[in-house]
Amino acid sequence: MAAQVLVVGSANVDLAVKAERRPQGGETVLGADTEVLPGGKGANTAVAAAKLGADVALVGAVGDDSFGTLLLESLRDSGVRADHVRTVDRPTGVAYITVTPDGENSILVSPGANRALCPEAVAAALPGARVLVASMEVPLSTVEHALVSAKEAGVRTVLNLSPVAEVAEQALSGLDVLLVNQHEAAWLLGAEPVDAMRLLELGPKAAVVTKGASGAVVVTGEGSSEIRAPKVEAVDTTGAGDAFAGAFSTALARGANIVDAATSGVKVATMSVRRRGAQPSYPNAAELE
């Protein structure tokens, strides 16, 4: 049986090191012990959905190496179907993260296997899905193909356009939901402050702009709705956008309307910023109650 939520996106191992400062060109700095954590926007989104009890599959790619094994095991342990994660002849994607005492992260991503995620990988996973959610750390051609073929198959489509990039008009027109943060929205519109309504001119039926501690705004042809985030002490916002995408898509697959789905996204993402890490910070269904 097909999964109800289909995530098309990246899987990376995050290698995080705390250091007093980040090295400059030609310099070596000694840091703390390396933390090895599962990450990548696609995997994070899928895990956020699985923790809420969604029937979710990731369409992705890892390498034939120990990091690939680690990612496949962690996806399965979190309840994500990994049968559409291909093992390819390139190294598993890695994000090298330096964390300094001011809390600032600098991240170098080596996409590796994610670059080998081909459009054909999507077709086999598509039949029976209710919602397809795609993000952008995989080849643009694969994302565009996924959106167009999902639309043809009558599957609802969500594009988390992050990291932001130019996307073919064909993929945006008829898209059910464009999901971006404020910076991505400003980049797309070429203007600040962001007028979220104008995102609809790019072709999607609805758009959601997440606004960090301020929550999110939903725009459709019928108007706009603000969703406020509850005030919390934010400890670590890593992967908050992916938590939103996972919860939002789960709610849509369960039949919620877009405003209710975004309300669920804000609730889950806001809970996630109260704890460290990306995937470990995501709440499960019981915690949400």
Our CB check for ligand ATP shows the closer of 41 and 130 to be 41
Least distance from C-beta 211 to ligand ATP, angstroms? 5
210 labeled part of a ligand binding site = yes
Our CB check for ligand ATP shows the closer of 112 and 215 to be 215
**Helices 240-253 and 41-51, interaxial angle, to 10°?**
50
105 labeled part of a ligand binding site = no
13 labeled part of a ligand binding site = yes
3-state secondary structure of 204: coil
Least distance from C-beta 29 to ligand ATP, angstroms? 25
Q: Are strands 177-181 and 156-160 parallel, antiparallel or unpaired?
A: parallel
Interface residues toward ligand ATP, by CB under 6 A: 162, 181, 210-213, 215-216, 229, 232, 234, 237-242, 244, 266, 269-270, 273
Residue nearest to ligand ATP (CB): 241
Phi, psi of 251 (to 5 degrees): -65, -40
Our CB check for ligand ATP shows the closer of 7 and 155 to be 7
Beta strands across the sheet bearing 105-110? 35-39, 12-18, 93-99, 105-110
**Is the omega angle on the peptide bond into residue 119 within 30 degrees of 0, that is, cis?**
no
Least distance from C-beta 123 to ligand ATP, angstroms? 29
236 labeled part of a ligand binding site = yes
Cα 252 from chain centroid (whole Å):
15
The phi-psi region of residue 154 (left if phi > 0; otherwise alpha if psi is between -120 and 50; otherwise beta) is left
242 is catalytic: yes
The contacts of residue 122 (CB under 8 Å, 6+ apart) are 8, 59, 142, 145, 146, 149, 150
Our CB check for ligand ATP shows the closer of 74 and 270 to be 270
From the CB of residue 183, how many other CB atoms can be counted at a distance below 10 Å?
14
Least distance from C-beta 117 to ligand ATP, angstroms? 21
Binding site listing for substrate? 12-14, 40-44, 137, 242
* Residues acting as catalytic residues: 242
Binding site listing? 12-14, 40-44, 137, 181, 210-215, 236, 238, 241-242, 272, 275, 277, 281
